[in-house]
Amino acid sequence: RIRPSCRVWLCWPADGVVVVSIQRPFPASHGGSLQTLRRKTARWLMRGAFGRGNREASENLLPTVGIHRILVCHLSHTLGNTLLLTPLLRELQRIYPGAEVDVVTRSPVANEIFGSFPNVRRIHRLSPHRLAAPWRLIGALRTLRAHRYDLAIDPCLRSQSDRIGVLAAKATWKLGYIAPGKSGALSHGVAAPTDVRHVGQLPVHLLRCATGRSVGTAYPPLDICLTRQERERGSALLARLVDTDMAALPLLIGVFANATGAKRLGAEWWQRFTQHVTECNPACRIVEIVPVTGASLLGDRYPTAYSSDLRHLAGMLSGLSLFVSAD
């Protein structure tokens, strides 16, 4: 039996052997199908190794005393997702001010983002590619198993990799969300929220629900703990770019015109935008933040700032009055 959507090719060569070739169409979301298969396989293996996991939220609260060694598993490799973990580090510093935190990540800029947090002790950085450098992965897992933690946190709603790290760690308390596809039993499971949408707030909400501390208060902002010297250095560079005393400048606007996919608006759009801004605010000055390619998208019409150093770039952004980006 052959599905109607398949194409069948019949070939009769000279030797009389019939060759049947069945060509199955690839769906538009073929990559998504492979991703779905991978996730189903991972869930099946996880259930076999660690059980099906929590079905209901835990009634008991996490203790707010006696927790000194904390592990956070966040195996994303992207800059944005790595930055979105910083509010949780701030919240851990507030609830457990005397504790040390170890972070497991695949981000190549983890040291630049987490390294200045006073409560971060170790950063275990795995390869950005899951299957690359398996010896580094094995070494990291051995390191985790060699340390005893009071609390291990899986901060994400969907990542199964984060859950594996938490389940593999030696920890008295293990915390994570109860969500579809999440396997493995935790000591404290929290129901997925319906009123929290910002990804950077989800880990903070998880910790607050588990400890019962300050659930209704404002969330910490995204932060990489810039030092006063880094901010001053960024402001000094901006002052040299615009050749103006920063204290006397009413409005300094930074523009990042680059983006990926549908977020990329194009140079013409940004040129019209910046022209309109300067017409409405004649006293303002504009600085273009040049992307990693090193090429200006605004034709070098404005002073440009470029840095491959993440913290140096953040220092410059901190000195702006306004930063505009569509990415």
Exposure string of 271-281, with b = 16+ CB inside 10 Å and e = fewer, is eebbeebeeee
What is the tens place of the pLDDT at every residue in 230-281?
999 999 999 999 887 777 778 999 999 998 888 888 889 999 999 999 999 9
Q: What is the mean pLDDT of residues 149-154?
A: 96
In the prediction, which pLDDT does 179 show?
Answer: 82
Stretch among 40-49, 119-128, 225-234, 237-246 having the lowest mean pLDDT? 40-49
The answer to whether 82 touches 52, Cβ cutoff 8 Å, is no
The pTM of this model reads 0.76
Q: How much is the mean pLDDT over the chain?
A: 82
**What residues form DSSP beta bridges with 323?**
254
In three state form, how does the secondary structure of the chain look? Answer: CCCCCCEEEEECCCCCCCEEEEECCCCCCHHHHHHHHHHHHHHHHHHHHHCCCCCCCCCCCCCCCCCCEEEEECCCCCHHHHHCCHHHHHHHHHHCCCCEEEEEECCCCHHHHHCCCCCEEEEEECCCCCCCCHHHHHHHHHHHHHCEEEEEECCCCCCHHHHHHHHHCEEEEEEEEECCCCCCCCCEEEECCCCCCCCCCHHHHHHHHHHCCCCCCCCCCCCCCCCHHHHHHHHHHHHHHHCCCHHHCCCEEEEECCCCHHHCCCHHHHHHHHHHHHHHCCCCEEEEECCCCCCCCCCCCCCEECCCCHHHHHHHHHCCCEEEECC
User: Residue 318 above 60 pLDDT?
Assistant: yes
Q: Which amino acid is at 301?
A: R
Lowest-confidence pick of 57-66, 112-121, 308-317: 57-66
